[in-house]
Structure 1
Amino acid sequence: MDTSSTHYLCLAAALAPASNLQQPIPVTIEQLTGILCCTPRNVKFILRKLEEQHFITWVPGRGRGHRSLLTFSRHVDEVLEESFQELVSKGRIKPAIDLIGQYQVNEPLKERLLAVLDKQMGFWSEPGSTSGQEVLRISRNRSMEKLDPAIVYTAFETYLLGHICSTLITYDAEAGVFLPGLAHTWEVNESSTSYLFYLRKGVRFHHGRMMTSRDVQGTLQRLNDLASPVIGHFKDICHVELESDYRIRFDLVQPNLFFLHLFSSIYMSILPFDVDFTQHPVGTGPYQVLNLSKDELVLGAYDLYYGIRPLLDRVEIWYLPHLASSVRQYQLTDASTSPGNTPITEEDQSHSIDYPAVGCRYILFNFQREGVHHHPAVRQALRILYHPPAMIRELGGNRIMPASSFLPWWSSRHPFPEGLPQEAQALLQAAGYKGEVLKLAFRVQKEDQEEALWLQERCRRIGLQLELYAFTDYDRPDIMSHADLLIAEEVLEDDWQWGMINYFRNESNYLHGLLQDSQKLTLTWLLEPFARLAAEERAALLDLGESKLRDNCWVLYGCHLNKKAQLSQNLLGLQPGSFGFLDISKLWVKSGFQ
């Protein structure tokens, strides 16, 4: 954005000319020096330049006591829109976004500006040479959460870490088998009390050093040092032996049939022991971090990656709370041309694909706060009101299936009888409800907000007072202090048994924060044998754990969700990754014949 536009918008923000366009505004040079933060001499230079470019007309005051007259010649929205488009066209996304926050923007203009921004998301091929880099831009309509394998708790950041870091092994959920990663093979003794990993040679971290078994040991030690919320999963390890630079053995205090799942999880992403990941995020994955701020994450393809180098050269993720769409954009940049400026035919146009998520939206009760929700009958009444089939029928959207579990195939086993409002009212009376207010927390997102308003109205009809409390960022202490119940969403990994047991045991999530110690001990006792059991027995135990949540109404399951992504027909290499996202390292763009 040029300086004249900046000065014009600065004056407009201070003098509010919206209702006085083409009407002279009395001002003094001294007043303008305060607004523009410069000397009287520079103010006169700026005014002369603005007048030459037809932004304003200026009539200086003659004599002492006579004020000058400033007339705005152009509408502020027009200048703001031009400036926004200029910044975006130059790739200066952050300054463009800041414009929306700095000045009052009406809704129609905001929609136009966001439409311009959306066109900058998706795939770009940088011009100038035949080797122009291919770039993917993704926008997120929320703030960036913690990007650290030891403490990550959100699905999207976990997905990103999977492109930055690598694990010793990976889990193929469809085939139900483990595959080599940084370890090319492994062994386990007959009693499942000792695991030996053989590491690949020649694997380099992004800072250039070769990976060795010491880094694997350091990664586990880092989980302990940072008091990772998942450290409890690794409690069976009693000794780590570095047999050589490329062999490492883990000895356990008891048999653990689930051990390989732990080492394929994002938390055991192997990090260099000699680098502080919080200051310099370095891994061995297909992409390395080029830039990291609260607004933007830029990833670049790592040419020395031990696997197959990604075909996309750079990935930019923009975190734009309250601005960007919740639909992931994998579109090409222009509806009429491909990245190589090749015309795109009708069948090449972008389309939407669906990702039914393993997980659901649900309600948790805050048992850390005193209140009527501690009475089982009050929670049962809310179970009647928060009825999944009714939500799907009345709200629609991305709600695709009633949930009684985080797993859709388990939800399909349960009926969903719809209770009457009178039944909910009778339960409140049985609980001795006297009009106490319950506070419901929800994220500032469309689906969560409409669900909260929908439930509030249903509660109002039977005399249950529900107050809404919106929050923007993950802040467990704040929610624990101010909310009685919470609309949350859980999306599980492809390795769903790992995802479920981690949900029950992860100390950083909402469940752990909002249940009382006695409730958590009940779940801990119930799930204690989990790692010693075979897969089918583990599944049955997880089912019992969910039954405990469901039958006691500690959790009210809502609906399974359908995630959407926009992509181009010219986009190839579509392979599903974690949490229903596409594996970016496999994507490439087909330009076609020139």
Structure 2
Amino acid sequence: MQLYDYYLQLRVSQPQAREGEPVPITLDLLAGHWFCTVRNVKLLLKKMAHLDWILWQPGCGRGRSSLLTFVIPAPELISRTAMDLTRKGDFKAAVELIHTYGRIYALKDSFLEWMSGYFGFNSAASGGAVQDTLRLPLFRPPVSLDPAHAIYAVDCHLISHVFSTLLELDSATGNLLPQLAYYWESSADGTEWTFYLRKKVYFHHGREMDAEDVKYTLERLVEPATDSSWSWLMRDVAFLLPVTPHILRIGLKRPNHLLPFFLTFPAASIVPEDVARDNPSLFGRSPIGTGPFRMEFYDKYICRLHAFDGYYGVRPHLDVIEMWILPEQLAAYRPKGEDKLIISHGDVPMPEDEYEQQGFQTKEEHVFDGSTVLTFNTRRGPCRSLPLRQAIDRLIDRKAMVRELGNNRVGPSRGITRDFLLRHGSRRHEHFDRDASCHESSLTAEELIRASGYAGETLRLVAYAQHGEDARWVAGKLSEAGLNVEVETMQPAAFTDREYVHQADLCLFMPLSDSPLGFLGHLIQTSSFIYRHMSSGLQSRIQSAVGQIQREASFERQAEELLNIEEMLLADTALLFLLKKTFRVAVHSSIGGVRIDRQGWVDYRHLFVRERSASKTFDGDEFSADGSSGKSTTKGSKKDARL
């Protein structure tokens, strides 16, 4: 342990002590606390006193109390030490220090300002070449970078940079684009699909990818040992046949015109059979793919990606992306200064004047693809009662919620598919054009509560920290009506804790996806809050409806079936669509190549740093998605893509 560790451990053990005020303590007590000898205690105290961290007045005689006075406040020592470690290049130790003690002490604003200035772009000579590095904070640590366990948004975002899928969804146009497969085709009835793979595509460990790797990747999703919640992607597969090393044929038990779309999901990212099979438990921490970046280093404090020189596509402009995984409570401190890209999901304000003075170009707000939703646990507890669910629906005034909470909330959601169709100017939603809260009884909320048999039980409402304000607002409105509601902030790992979700009565979160078809995953994926809270009867009806969508080859019929599913959810009051939200982007004028999807994630492949003297005006077109990889000429390449 370092000297600062000994000091901070001691300081934490004496929470009642104040700086400048002596506290009685014995050498034996310190020896027990530090797990060392009295002789070593004296040496440590001498070093701390020499650095003016403490004042020490020894007692007379063995066992007699001495007087210890803390001089330096813990937050100041943490800040000084972290800054010193960072300057020395020991980033891991600096972040570990912040993690260990940043949750106990409020760090100094001056340090947070200094730390934020350390993030951004840096160019340095390395081996005769210039290496461009983007260093950024990450406040929600990845859980697993194994595609088979891709659940969380942060994980999926990183997976998309380390791995590649057979096809890619262009979020700007909704079209399917070639990626590892350059061409694909299907039988007329949609039961047999053939994918043609690019040649000379290499994994990060140097081996060429082939059809056997694709076969293994997809089979791995349904292996019991993998325990992947994405097994449903492959449930209709009858066979996977590598025709040649670069041609894979997939046979299905029934028609599925959504198969190409499903193969764009992060879970379908292609993994190397030799590595994933031999080291399944380590693969999530040491992932190897064919993507534009390879994993150079990853632990619970630092995640470092390096551009893959052997990438089959266009090599990224950046050489290194280094993410410091910081405590979530530090998320309110946004980077300032040059060479910064800042995205606010509504968690912190972005004062436009302040950023403009620093050379940032702010862009208008972008609406998330998705909606906040409130699920009801219809498998246990009070929310099994339909009248109670209807009463809660009536008590939540979405317009009042937007008006009272403000910030990045822009309006009530009419449903994932309805919002999508409205945004794209479609009129196909009109025969379903009702509010998301339209299924109301003629009874008042009070009458519905009485009819439900509710007897004062505590309703446990869980939400992630970023949706805490929404959850507390909902709880307040329900409490005013006489319902007893307890709000609990979820940790990320709670998503995969089946018992935790089972014990929750309500869950508020925002399912994000590239399109309404992506929402299907939340309805049938076994780890999803929505799926786990649905009754078994509704689960079966949803499964049947999804099967019908898969049989439809036309976009129009798929859209109608998606609306039917949302109508089914609303009729059962299985969940409530709440609000649409936005995110804002502030980009410093020195950064180019900014492309952000409608989930608020940056595509790091295209970022670059302009000349420091450049004064080019920020071009809004740089926010468009990259569709430059070309389009397949096969009939199946577009028809299922626009949702």
TM-score category by the smaller chain?
Answer: 0.7 to 0.9
Cα gap change, 1:31 to 1:235, in 2 (>3 Å):
closer
The question of whether the paired residues in 1 share the 8 Å contact of 2:95 and 2:324 is answered with no
The question of whether the paired residues in 2 share the 8 Å contact of 1:159 and 1:578 is answered with no
**Stretch moving more, 456-465 or 184-193:** 184-193
* 1:477 CA drift (Å): 2.1
* 1:348 CA drift (Å): 3.4
> 1:362 aligned to 2:373?
yes
Cα gap change, 1:111 to 1:479, in 2 (>3 Å):
farther
Alpha-carbon distance between aligned partners in 1 of 2:133 and 2:591, rounded to the nearest angstrom: 13
Amino acid at match of 2:12: A
* 1:107 CA drift (Å): 7.0
Cα gap change, 1:17 to 1:133, in 2 (>3 Å):
farther
Residues 484-509 of structure 1: CA deviation (Å, up to 9, x unaligned): 1111211112xx14303222222221
The question of whether the paired residues in 1 share the 8 Å contact of 2:387 and 2:448 is answered with yes
The question of whether the paired residues in 2 share the 8 Å contact of 1:292 and 1:298 is answered with yes
Question: 5 Å matches for 1:445-524?
Answer: 445=466, 448-475=467-494, 476-493=497-514, 496-524=515-543
Question: 5 Å matches for 1:285-300?
Answer: 285-300=291-306
Amino acid at match of 1:469: E
Amino acid at match of 1:587: L
The question of whether the paired residues in 1 share the 8 Å contact of 2:161 and 2:292 is answered with yes
> 1:218 aligned to 2:222?
no
Map of 2:576 onto structure 1 = 556
Question: 5 Å matches for 1:323-342?
Answer: 323-325=329-331, 332=338
The question of whether the paired residues in 2 share the 8 Å contact of 1:330 and 1:567 is answered with no
Alpha-carbon distance between aligned partners in 2 of 1:5 and 1:163, rounded to the nearest angstrom: 38
Map of 1:568 onto structure 2 = 588
Map of 1:393 onto structure 2 = 403
Equivalent position to 1:586, from 606, 614, 621: 606
* 1:404 CA drift (Å): 2.2
**Stretch moving more, 261-270 or 250-259:** 250-259
Cα gap change, 1:575 to 1:12, in 2 (>3 Å):
closer
Cα gap change, 1:593 to 1:270, in 2 (>3 Å):
same
Map of 2:322 onto structure 1 = 316
The question of whether the paired residues in 2 share the 8 Å contact of 1:141 and 1:322 is answered with yes
The question of whether the paired residues in 1 share the 8 Å contact of 2:116 and 2:333 is answered with no
Map of 2:18 onto structure 1 = 19
Question: 5 Å matches for 1:112-261?
Answer: 112-126=110-124, 131-225=129-223, 226-261=226-261
Map of 1:340 onto structure 2 = none
Map of 2:85 onto structure 1 = 87
Map of 1:341 onto structure 2 = none
3-state SS of paired residue (1:490): coil
The question of whether the paired residues in 2 share the 8 Å contact of 1:229 and 1:507 is answered with yes
* 1:228 CA drift (Å): 3.2
Cα gap change, 1:326 to 1:288, in 2 (>3 Å):
farther
> 1:9 aligned to 2:37?
no
Cα gap change, 1:62 to 1:510, in 2 (>3 Å):
closer
Amino acid at match of 1:365: F
**Stretch moving more, 43-52 or 409-418:** 409-418
* 1:304 CA drift (Å): 0.7
* 1:482 CA drift (Å): 2.6
Residues 424-452 of structure 1: CA deviation (Å, up to 9, x unaligned): 1122123343333322112233xx22222
Map of 2:345 onto structure 1 = none
Map of 2:307 onto structure 1 = 301
Alpha-carbon distance between aligned partners in 2 of 1:490 and 1:558, rounded to the nearest angstrom: 12
Provide the aligned C-alpha RMSD in A.
3.3
The question of whether the paired residues in 1 share the 8 Å contact of 2:139 and 2:331 is answered with yes
The question of whether the paired residues in 2 share the 8 Å contact of 1:168 and 1:270 is answered with yes
The question of whether the paired residues in 1 share the 8 Å contact of 2:165 and 2:269 is answered with yes
**Stretch moving more, 429-438 or 305-314:** 429-438
Cα gap change, 1:353 to 1:411, in 2 (>3 Å):
closer
Amino acid at match of 1:480: V
Amino acid at match of 2:148: A
Cα gap change, 1:158 to 1:353, in 2 (>3 Å):
farther
The question of whether the paired residues in 1 share the 8 Å contact of 2:183 and 2:195 is answered with yes
Cα gap change, 1:330 to 1:358, in 2 (>3 Å):
farther
3-state SS of paired residue (2:222): helix
* 1:463 CA drift (Å): 1.5
Alpha-carbon distance between aligned partners in 1 of 2:476 and 2:151, rounded to the nearest angstrom: 32
The question of whether the paired residues in 1 share the 8 Å contact of 2:122 and 2:132 is answered with yes
TM-score scaled by length of structure 1: 0.87
Alpha-carbon distance between aligned partners in 2 of 1:245 and 1:381, rounded to the nearest angstrom: 59
Equivalent position to 1:434, from 455, 465, 468: 455
Alpha-carbon distance between aligned partners in 1 of 2:309 and 2:550, rounded to the nearest angstrom: 39
Residues 225-272 of structure 1: CA deviation (Å, up to 9, x unaligned): 135333333333323222221222223334332222122332221111
3-state SS of paired residue (1:323): helix
Taking only the aligned residue pairs, the percentage that are identical comes to 29
Unaligned runs of 5+ in 2: 342-354, 424-432, 615-643
* 1:553 CA drift (Å): 1.1
Amino acid at match of 2:569: L
Equivalent position to 2:390, from 380, 390, 403: 380
* 1:99 CA drift (Å): 4.0
Residues 570-590 of structure 1: CA deviation (Å, up to 9, x unaligned): 110112347331211111111
Cα gap change, 1:146 to 1:388, in 2 (>3 Å):
farther
The question of whether the paired residues in 2 share the 8 Å contact of 1:140 and 1:324 is answered with no
The question of whether the paired residues in 2 share the 8 Å contact of 1:124 and 1:332 is answered with no
Aligned residues: 579
* 1:110 CA drift (Å): 5.5
Amino acid at match of 1:489: M
Unaligned runs of 5+ in 1: 336-343
Amino acid at match of 1:45: L
The question of whether the paired residues in 2 share the 8 Å contact of 1:327 and 1:566 is answered with no
3-state SS of paired residue (1:378): helix
Residues 274-324 of structure 1: CA deviation (Å, up to 9, x unaligned): 112652411000011112223432211111111111111112233334323
Cα gap change, 1:189 to 1:125, in 2 (>3 Å):
same
> 1:539 aligned to 2:539?
no
3-state SS of paired residue (1:201): coil
**Stretch moving more, 225-234 or 303-312:** 225-234
The question of whether the paired residues in 1 share the 8 Å contact of 2:378 and 2:385 is answered with no
